[in-house]
């Protein structure tokens, strides 16, 4: 039986107090196999370990924060988000918007799970099912205050963005993500090279607007999308966002960007040198796009010819538009103009207890070799 609304009570007749937990899951998330069994395991563990009355609720496209967190038995003390980064963002945003005084835990059932990886909830060297490691964190972890970002009226936990590179992250469908995992983004990112940069107007922290050419503009809650910040919980509540402006002009530029993310998120090593893009600490930014065609450098013109040769489609110029698609945590979310701001201490998040352990694999030599090859 689908567990879209399940409650398990463990109250003893002599008990007058009980604790409430809400487990929220996305039926379309990830590659978790038998979802009902896994949700049942969560309910049982919470029930047996800490005496919770558990409600399990599925997300739906049009559910409001108030409906998502509604309770007939009193306020929830614990809310658990089961899914990928998009589901986690919806749950954290709902808690922040309703100002619910509850701790929030994460069970990463998605494909990328970037936030869970950066927090150590999904350790890179994990052997076995992530479910049990995540439950251990929820039951025995520490609670930290976390800032959230807000794009217009939409909350985000990792990033908001716009531009051809940002758009590539929203292309893959859920069924393809489940099969191809992170590799599903390879082709859309290659296609984004054929779309030259656009001219964006950025007004940072209320200052005069600046026009910048960019193939991708990202605003992240954790410094530089978590690169180099693994288990650094001070990044969660520093009261700032990172503005990242990417404007690669050559194959080497694209390679440096790709390697920086792959080295950290796949191999766990921090690439040397400065980031191959602009990074700036901000509290808010207004973003709009100038109504102009994509600007084409030689690499973009070449990539475009290759794209249409492989796809057997005729060449044509991108349409002139006065807006650009906006992205939040990997999902499309309206379009420009965009107002993005930090909301300090928005939620109370459960994370693993701080340890002094470091990754077992040292890939600095590999980083040096790859850098020389580039």
Q: Are 105 and 136 in contact (CB under 8 A)?
A: no
User: Mean pLDDT of all residues in the chain?
Assistant: 79
How far from the centroid of its chain's Cα atoms is residue 231's Cα?
A: 16
DSSP, collapsed to helix, strand or coil, labels residue 29 as coil
Q: How far apart are CA 28 and CA 43, in angstroms?
A: 20
13 — pLDDT class (breaks 50, 70, 90): very low
Rounded average pLDDT over 93-120: 90
Q: Which residue has better confidence, 180 or 194?
A: 194
Band the pLDDT of 41: cuts 50, 70, 90: very high
- State CA 104 to chain mean position distance: 16
pTM across the whole model: 0.79
Residue 138 per-residue DSSP state: H
Give the pLDDT score at 35: 82
pLDDT of 312: 56
Q: What is the largest CA-CA distance in the chain?
A: 76
Q: How far apart are CA 99 and CA 80, in angstroms?
A: 16
The token pair at 228 is 């180099």
Q: Which two tokens stand for residue 64?
A: 């409001």
Instruction: Grade residue 127 by pLDDT with cuts at 50, 70 and 90.
Output: low
| Distance of alpha carbon 213 from the chain centroid | 25
The three-class DSSP label of residue 45 is helix
Q: How far is Cα 292 from Cα 106, in angstroms, rounded to an integer?
A: 42
* Closest C-alpha among 129, 121, 85, 90 to residue 105: 121
pLDDT of 186 reads: 55
User: In the prediction, which pLDDT does 55 show?
Assistant: 96
Whole-number Å distance between alpha carbons of 9 and 374: 59
Instruction: State the alpha helices, DSSP H only, in the chain.
Output: 35-50, 65-68, 85-98, 114-119, 130-140, 164-168, 174-180, 186-192, 251-265, 298-311, 364-373
Give the model's confidence band at 256: pLDDT under 50 very low, under 70 low, under 90 confident, else very high.
confident
CA 335 to chain centre: 18
pLDDT digits (tens, 9 = 90+) for 158-176: 899 998 888 776 544 444 4
Whether the per-residue pLDDT at 8 is higher than 70: the answer is no
- For the ranges 173-182, 200-209, 234-243, 340-349, the lowest mean pLDDT is seen at 173-182
Handedness of CA 131, 132, 137, 138 (dihedral sign): positive
pLDDT band at 177 (very low <50, low <70, confident <90, very high): very low
Question: From its phi and psi, is residue 301 left (phi > 0), alpha (psi between -120 and 50) or beta?
Answer: alpha
Distance CA 78, CA 352 (A): 16
b or e along 125-139 (b: 16 or more beta carbons within 10 Å of the residue's beta carbon)?
eeeeebbebbbebbe
Q: Measured in whole angstroms, how far is the alpha carbon of residue 369 from the centre of its chain?
A: 30
- Whether the pLDDT of residue 290 is over 50: the answer is yes
Residue 16 CB contacts under 8 Å (≥ 6 apart), including other chains: none
Could you give the domains of the chain? 5-140 (3.40.50.10330), 156-343 (2.60.200.40)
Q: Phi/psi class of residue 159: alpha, beta or left (left: φ > 0; alpha: ψ in -120 to 50)?
A: beta
């Amino acid at each position: 039986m689908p567990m879209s609304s399940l409650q398990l009570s463990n109250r003893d007749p002599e008990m007058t107090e009980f604790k409430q937990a809400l487990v929220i899951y996305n039926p379309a998330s990830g590659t978790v196999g038998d979802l009902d069994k896994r949700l049942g395991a969560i309910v049982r563990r919470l029930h047996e370990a800490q005496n919770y009355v558990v409600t399990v609720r599925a997300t739906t496209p049009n559910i409001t924060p108030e409906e998502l967190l509604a309770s007939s038995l009193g306020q929830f003390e614990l809310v658990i988000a089961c899914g990928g980064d998009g589901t986690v963002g919806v749950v954290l945003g709902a808690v922040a918007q309703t100002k619910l005084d509850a701790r929030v835990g994460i069970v990463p059932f998605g494909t990328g799970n970037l936030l869970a990886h950066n927090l150590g909830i999904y350790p890179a060297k994990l052997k076995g099912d992530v479910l049990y490691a995540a439950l251990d964190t929820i039951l025995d972890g520490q609670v930290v205050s976390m800032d959230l970002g807000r794009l217009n009226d939409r909350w985000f936990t990792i990033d908001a963005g716009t531009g051809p590179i940002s758009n590539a992250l929203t292309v893959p469908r859920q069924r393809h993500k489940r099969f191809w995992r992170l590799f599903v983004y390879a082709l859309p990112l290659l296609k984004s090279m054929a779309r030259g940069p656009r001219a964006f107007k950025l007004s940072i922290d209320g200052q005069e607007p600046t026009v910048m050419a960019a193939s991708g503009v990202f605003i992240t809650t954790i410094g530089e999308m978590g690169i180099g910040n693994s288990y650094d919980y001070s990044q969660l509540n520093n009261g700032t966002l990172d503005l990242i402006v990417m404007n690669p002009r050559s194959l080497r530029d694209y390679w440096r960007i790709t390697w920086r993310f792959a080295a950290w998120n796949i191999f766990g090593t921090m690439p040397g040198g400065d980031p191959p893009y602009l990074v700036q600490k901000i509290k808010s930014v207004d973003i709009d796009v100038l109504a102009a065609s994509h600007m084409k450098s030689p690499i973009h013109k070449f990539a475009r010819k290759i794209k249409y040769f492989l796809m057997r489609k005729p060449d044509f110029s991108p349409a002139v538009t006065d807006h650009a698609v906006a992205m939040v945590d990997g999902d499309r979310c309206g379009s420009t103009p965009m107002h993005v701001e930090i909301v300090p201490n928005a939620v109370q998040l459960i994370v693993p207890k701080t340890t002094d352990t470091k990754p077992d694999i040292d890939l600095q030599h590999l980083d040096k070799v790859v850098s020389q090859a580039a």
